[in-house]
Amino acid sequence: MSTQNKPQSKPLRNDQVKNNAGGFVWAVNDMQRLQRFLCLGCEGGTYYQGEKELGIENAKSIIKLIEDGRGVEVVQTIKTYSIEGRTSKQNPIMFALALCAKSTDLSTKQAAYSSLSEICRIPTHLFMFIKYTHALGQNWGRAQRRAVSQWYTKQNPSELAMAVTKYQNREGYTHRDVLRLSHPSTKDPLICFLFDYITHGLQKAIEHLKSTNDNHNTENITDTYQQEVEQKQIILNNDNEEDDEINNKKLLTIEQLKEFLETVEKVKTSTDENELITAIRQHHLVREHLPTNMLNSKNIWAVLLENMPLTAMIRNLGKMSAIDLLREDSEAEKYVVQRLKNRAQLYRARIHPFNILVALETYKQGKGFKGKLQWQVNQQVKNTLEKAFYLSFKYVKPTNQRYLIGLDVSGSMSCGTINGSPSITPAVGSCAMCMVTVRTEPYAKVVAFSDRLIPVDFSKNSKLEDIMTETRRISFGPTDCALPMIWALERKEKIDVFVVYTDNETWFGKVHPSEALQQYRKKMSCPKAKLIVVGMKSNSFTIADPNDRGMLDIVGFDSAAPQVMSLFAEGAI
């Protein structure tokens, strides 16, 4: 049987493997598998694999990389994806880092712990990392105690005070728990006072401070100490406003820190709206500092919005609409819209496209997926969220190539979720992501396929809401990833770049996708026609032939994916 007549249920070459659907494809290498896991996670599993099974497979790939002597490279990859904001959730990042920290390979362990402060930028990340190391059987050895201690002691006191009062407990841990496990030590009087506050409460900390002041003058920080403070590594800063609120008011003395903590404790039980507004403005307090019963105040939310970081603002659009703060033509609406359209702010805040997509899907419903909160949808805010989705991808310039984009809408792509979001299946996520190319390139056609091909009417002016609705209406079936190339050949379409969004569980076709591309190249006299495979699940499969330099496998919902696709299309990589 010739290769061109071999169905996908038969191997084309000896280096192929059988996927979960019974078709033959290639296996991605372990580093590619790691990258898929970091971006896509394993929440919700796939049509063929449960979440636990998928997670174990990904963990084995990471362990194998470490065993092959590539542990430091793994840590560097984790660090790069984290710092560049290329992943939408931190759970896979922290799990992978915990695996490296647990490693018996010394260089891998050292690399993991030395990167802890850069990757765990807020307490939520730190507590998540600690939870995973505990689950993996990692004890509190010297390396972990030292790394966690330095997470606290190397921070600027102003930023640390904001972090520990906002994120008081996460993932089953409190700061008090972590301090008792890590035994941090510092000569910084402000951080010492913070540690006392965390472990004993404010009143005890003040009493201890008074007894210390009987023997030492800690009222002011010397010029030398101020220089040390300025040179400290600031983990939470204005260029790194991921989930955190920034305490712009620098706390340079014990008295200033004490005043801040006294205010934090006082507002916990306050019912005076004016008092809370004053505290928010004077000390840059945030929503988490305030009593729950006061969070229905429109005036309080208006003040919170003044300095609210982008991530928090996007998360709270529904709440602010519910209390009528974002009414049409209001100053709050104008402020929100202006910030959502600011590409530089989106980049600095590490706003991931997937998180904006989830926010858009939630906001347009007028109610949350959980709870009873409902709101009137502000059309201007909704439309700007869509613009922010495109802006949040790394900048992509047009390549002026001719694209045919194939969206796998088969049964397996309609099951499961991306990163645990209940509204975003791989099929829906694919159609949203493909619109980056449609809006960027002058020539880009889109088709959907399962066991048959379905042309869809996506244009530069199509709204995300409409195309996702259209995708959900398409009837699903078995998977044949060769159909986009076959369709283009039958219609004599001149295509430079085929892009296929899929979970690579193809099996139904009479010809392999790679062979369909070869036939297209030959019969259409397009020897340089390329295939980009965008993997939408963190399994180990790809339809891209690793021996063909004109085929590329990349990770879906990596915020850098469109940029990589553009470079590949131009022949730059």
Concatenating the DSSP letter of every residue in 36-103 gives HHHHH--TT--SSS-HHHHHHHHHHHHHHHIIIIIHHHHHHHHHHHHHTT--S-SHHHHHHHHHHHH-
- Give me the pLDDT at residue 216, please: 54
Share of the chain above pLDDT 90, in %: 78
Crossing angle between the packed helical segments 464-473 and 426-440, to the nearest 10 degrees:
140
Strands laid side by side in the 453-455 sheet: 453-455, 443-449, 402-408, 497-502, 530-535, 551-555
Q: State the greatest distance between any 2 C-alpha atoms of the chain, in Å, as a whole number.
A: 92
Q: How far apart are CA 437 and CA 426, in angstroms?
A: 17
Selection from 537, 493, 547, 553 nearest residue 515 by Cα:
547
pLDDT at 391 over 70: yes
pLDDT(238) > 80: no
Question: In b/e form, how buried is each residue of 314-334, taking b as 16+ CB within 10 angstroms?
Answer: bbbbbbbbbbebbeeeeebbe
At 523 the pLDDT is: 97
Question: Looking at the predicted structure, is the pLDDT value of residue 318 above 50?
Answer: yes
Instruction: Using the predicted structure, report yes or no on whether residue 402 has a pLDDT greater than 80.
Output: yes
Helix (H) or strand (E) holding 449: strand 443-449
> According to the 3-state scheme, what is the secondary structure of 103-169?
CCCHHHHHHHHHCHHHHCCCHHHHHHHHHHHHHCCCCCCHHHHHHHHHHHHCCCHHHHHHHHHHCCE
What is the rounded CA–CA span in Å between residue 417 and residue 423? 8
What pLDDT sits at residue 175? Answer: 97
How does strand 551-555 pair with strand 530-535? Answer: parallel
CATH superfamily, domain 396-570, is von Willebrand factor, type A domain (3.40.50.410)
Per-residue three-class SS string for 243-302: CCCCCCCCCCCHHHHHHHHHHHHHHCCCCCHHHHHHHHHHHCCCHHHCCHHHCCCHHHHH
At 473, the pLDDT band (50, 70, 90 cuts) reads confident
Triad 46, 50, 53: Cα angle to 5°: 115
Q: pLDDT digit string (tens) for 424-439?
A: 889 889 999 999 999 9
Task: Give the whole-angstrom CA distance, residue 176 versus residue 197.
Answer: 9
Sign (positive/negative) of CA torsion 325, 329, 331, 335?
A: positive
pLDDT tens sequence across 97-125: 999 999 999 999 999 999 999 999 999 99
What pLDDT score was predicted for residue 243?
Answer: 46
- Domain residue limits, the chain: 31-235, 309-391, 396-570
Report the alpha-carbon distance of residue 123 to residue 152 in Å, rounded: 10
Residue 481: alpha-carbon gap to chain centroid: 28
| Least confident residue range of 56-70, 374-388, 472-486 | 472-486
pLDDT in tens, 254-298: 999 999 999 999 999 999 999 999 999 999 999 999 999 999 999
248 falls in which pLDDT band (50, 70, 90)?
low
Flag whether pLDDT at 246 surpasses 60: no
Phi, psi (deg, nearest 5) at residue 407 = -105, 115
User: At 412, which helix (H) or strand (E)?
Assistant: none
6-20, 88-102, 420-434 — which is least confidently predicted? 420-434
CA-angle at 539, arms to 536 and 541, nearest 5°:
90
Mean of per-residue pLDDT scores for the chain? 90
CA distance 297 to 302: 9
Find the helix or strand (DSSP H, E) in which 470 lies: helix 464-473
Q: What is the pTM of this model?
A: 0.89
Residue 1's pLDDT is 41
The answer, yes or no, to whether residue 407 has pLDDT greater than 90, is yes
Rg, C-alpha atoms of the chain: 26
